[in-house]
A and B are shown apart, each in its own frame.
Chain A
Amino acid sequence: DGGITQSPKYLFRKEGQNVTLSCEQNLNHDAMYWYRQDPGQGLRLIYYSQIVNDFQKGDIAEGYSVSREKKESFPLTVTSAQKNPTAFYLCASSIGLGMVFGGDNSPLHFGNGTRLTVT
């Protein structure tokens, strides 16, 4: 079955350490996204990538970095510069291409998420 895999499900780190969250998809989607979710804050976009070797900052990119070396993979690194890294991180993908049909945009498919706790 096609899907998006995020690993690990739970991650614990000490303050000051960088940590990388994995996201792999086998849906052959061009676009991939990282969102952060905090209680009462909804989903906030960290980074997104429309195509391999290209990515753009979202609304809250400070303290994070990404790479897109392969179509299937979009890892997110939470650096020590991120002031409040404890959160639920969601990776998603979509066909991309903006308007797929007249007026339509492709929906996002989400992974199961990684819950990061930094102490």
Chain B
Amino acid sequence: GQQVMQIPQYQHVQEGEDFTTYCNSSTTLSNIQWYKQRPGGHPVFLIQLVKSGEVKKQKRLTFQFGEAKKNSSLHITATQTTDVGTYFCAVYSGGSNYKLTFGKGTLLTVNP
């Protein structure tokens, strides 16, 4: 099935620093989704990228989809303590298969 590699596994930053997590696939993706899971909580959908080279922004979060649709990134500008959590990318298998496979996630901690 579809697999994605997500790096880094952990990232600790000082409040105000930027943060980026990356997802990479060996095959071309039809789309990619990003989720955030707060400590002790459940994953919450953030965004979906579909088009080659697509860039979407949500306040301080910037999501990019690579030109070849094999990689994606999530960048947070000027992190805040509310950004703490694990960020996952996720991809669907092809065809009529509704199976969604998640990357292992990047745990972000922010030192105030």
Contact = CB atoms under 8 A, between A and B. Distances in A.
Q: Do A and B belong to a common assembly?
A: yes
Interface of B is mostly: loop
Given A90-B43, A94-B98, A108-B45, A42 B104 contact: yes
Interface string B41-80: 1111100101100000000000000000000000000000
A104 B99 contact: no
Interface in A48-88: 48, 50, 56, 58-59
A103 B51 contact: yes
A33 B43 contact: no
Contacts, number: 71
A41 interface: yes
Contact of A41 (B35, B45, B51, B104): B104
Contacts of B44: 110
Interface of A is mostly: strand
Most buried by A among B1, B43, B97, B104: B43
A98 B1 contact: no
Interface residues of B, number: 29
Contacts of B48: 104-105, 107
B33 A48 contact: no
Contacts of B99: 45, 48, 56, 58
B105 interface: yes
Given A41-B104, A42-B103, A105-B33, A98 B98 contact: yes
A104 B98 contact: no
A56 B100 CA distance: 13
B98 A48 contact: yes
A113 B31 CA distance: 26
A94 B33 CA distance: 13
A109 B6 CA distance: 21
Nearest to A31: B98
Interface string A88-107: 00101010101100111101
B43 A110 contact: yes
9 contacts: A40-B104, A42-B105, A96-B98, A98-B96, A103-B51, A104-B50, A105-B30, A105-B31, A111-B42
